[in-house]
Every structure is written in C-alpha cells, then in structure tokens.
C-alpha cells in the first residue's frame, strides 16, 4: 500500500466496495470477429452494442449471450471496456481503460 501511495503522490487511499462507483462500462463490438460473420448487418449491430447501458452490459456479462438486430452474439464477440475515474486533488482524471 505504501508503494501505491508514493507512486500516486497522495496521503491516503479510501477503499470502495462498489466497483461501479468510480468506473463505467462501455461495450464495443469485436469488428475482426463480427465483420465476417455479420457482413452488411454489422453497422446496425455495432450501433446497438455501443448504445448498451451499464445495467445491460452487466446482464450481458452474466448471461454470456445477447441478441442485437436479430443476431445472437456471444461474450467473446463483444469487448467490455472498464473506464476508471480517479479523483486527485479535486481534479478528475480518466486514467485507465481496461479491456
């Protein structure tokens, strides 16, 4: 913990039990996988996937499958990105995007 404090140059770190309090989720289609599979329908499917809300993304992660524009997509065909937000010295920094 001391190492993290020194690297971030902060005095304290406050743990949080709610993982989505300081993060948000974003879904992106895996174009390399879906482009061949969907062909011309890729545009409509991509638009629906990008419009997913956090609750929908969490439900998709739980079930591992969802239907977009009549096409059933599996978990490995959609990338879920976690955008972490850190607040340091009253400034908000979007610091990390994990896939």
pLDDT tens, position by position, 14-47: 777 776 777 888 999 999 989 889 999 999 999 9
CA–CA distance, 80 with 94 (Å, rounded to integer): 17
Q: Would the pLDDT of 67 be above 80?
A: yes
Q: Which residues pair with 85 in a beta bridge?
A: 94
Q: How many residues does the chain have?
A: 99
Domain count, the chain: 1
pLDDT computed for residue 38 by the predictor: 92
CA–CA distance, 51 with 9 (Å, rounded to integer): 37
Read off the tokens for 28: 């992106």
Read off the tokens for 82: 């976690």
Q: Is residue 9 part of a domain?
A: no
90: confidence class by pLDDT, cuts 50, 70, 90: low
Q: Is residue 34 part of a domain?
A: yes
Taking residue 72's Cβ as centre, other Cβ atoms within 10 Å add up to: 9
CA–CA distance, 49 with 45 (Å, rounded to integer): 6
Residue 62: which domain range? 19-98
Q: Is residue 10 part of a domain?
A: no
Taking residue 38's Cβ as centre, other Cβ atoms within 10 Å add up to: 20
């Amino acid at each position: 913990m001391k190492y993290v404090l020194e690297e971030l140059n902060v005095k304290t770190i406050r743990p949080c039990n709610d993982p989505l309090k300081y993060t948000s989720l974003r879904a992106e289609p895996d174009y390399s996988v879906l482009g061949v599979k969907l062909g011309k329908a890729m545009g409509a499917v991509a638009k629906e996937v990008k419009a997913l809300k956090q609750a929908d993304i969490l439900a998709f992660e739980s079930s591992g499958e969802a239907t977009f524009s009549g096409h059933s997509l599996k978990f490995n065909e959609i990338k879920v990105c976690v955008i972490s937000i850190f607040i340091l010295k009253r400034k908000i920094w979007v610091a990390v995007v994990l896939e």
